[in-house]
């Protein structure tokens, strides 16, 4: 019963904050809880979900290459600007930090509660986006803005 109340609270906060991603995610989890044999799926989704999400995000990131919007010229130009190098380094840093973060989640599951709360606050109150690779872009934006750099 406690899990239903917690999910309902998350759903209410998502509705108040008008965050469609969180509304859908909460709805999907609640729907899964209603399916009798879904208890077997929930641990699998918990264990593999982050990797599945990263895969979906990676597909979305690669689409501009597939459509020809981004080509080798753009790749070469990336190496010609300080902003491009900062973006590369930010991507590396986030990937490394994420590896340690995933390991920590497995070792210390209590961290999940704080992360969920922080993510909900960030998404609903501050209109943020709950996505990992976007962090690299945000870090890049911050450094580029601070140092007035451009691609």
DSSP letters spanning 22-81:
HHHHHHHHHHHHHSGGGGGHHHHHHHHHHHHHHHHHHHHHHHHHHTTSS-HHHHHHHTTS
Q: Is residue 107 part of a domain?
A: yes
Does residue 80 sit within a domain? yes
For residue 121, the model assigns a pLDDT of 84
Residues 75 and 25 in one domain: no
Q: Which domain holds residue 28?
A: 1-34
Query: 49 lies in a domain?
Result: no
Q: Is the domain of 143 the same as that of 76?
A: yes
- Judge if 20 and 82 occupy the same domain: no
Task: Name the range with the highest mean pLDDT among 14-18, 42-46, 48-52, 66-70.
Answer: 66-70
Better pLDDT: 112 or 144: 144
Residue 111 lies in a domain: yes
The verdict on residue 63 lying in a domain is: no
- pLDDT of 13 over the 80 cut: yes
Whether 136 and 83 map to the same domain: the answer is yes
Q: How many domains does the chain have?
A: 2
Q: Which residues of 44-71 are buried (b: 16+ CB within 10 A; e: fewer)?
A: eeeeeeeeeebeeeeeeeeeeeeeeeee
- Average pLDDT over the chain, rounded to an integer: 84
Flag whether pLDDT at 45 surpasses 70. Answer: yes
Confidence (pLDDT) at 76: 94
More confident residue, 18 or 71: 71
Lowest mean pLDDT among 87-96, 114-123, 128-137: 128-137
Both 90 and 141 in one domain: the answer is yes
> Buried (b) or exposed (e) across 86-98, using 16+ Cβ within 10 A?
bbeebbeebeeeb
Q: How far apart are CA 138 and CA 86, in angstroms?
A: 11
Examine residue 54 and state whether it is found in any structural domain, yes or no: no
- Quote the pLDDT of residue 131: 65
Whether 19 is in a domain gets the answer yes
Is 0.85 topped by the overall pTM?
no
Q: Say what the pLDDT of residue 24 is.
A: 93
On whether residue 39 sits in a domain, the answer given is no
86 and 145 part of one domain: yes
């Amino acid at each position: 019963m406690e899990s239903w109340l917690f999910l309902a609270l998350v759903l209410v906060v998502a509705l108040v904050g008008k965050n469609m991603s969180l509304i859908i995610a909460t709805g999907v989890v609640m729907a899964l809880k209603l399916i009798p044999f879904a208890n077997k799926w929930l641990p699998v989704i918990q264990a593999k979900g982050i990797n599945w999400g990263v895969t979906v995000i990676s597909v979305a990131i690669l689409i501009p290459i597939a459509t020809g919007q981004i080509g080798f010229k753009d790749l070469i130009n990336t190496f010609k600007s300080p902003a491009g190098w900062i973006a590369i380094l930010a991507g590396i840093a986030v990937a490394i930090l994420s590896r340690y973060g995933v390991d920590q989640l497995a070792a210390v599951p209590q961290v999940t509660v704080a992360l969920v709360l922080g993510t909900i606050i960030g998404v609903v109150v501050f209109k943020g986006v709950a996505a990992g690779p976007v962090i690299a872009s945000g870090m890049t934006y911050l450094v580029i803005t601070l140092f007035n750099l451009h691609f």
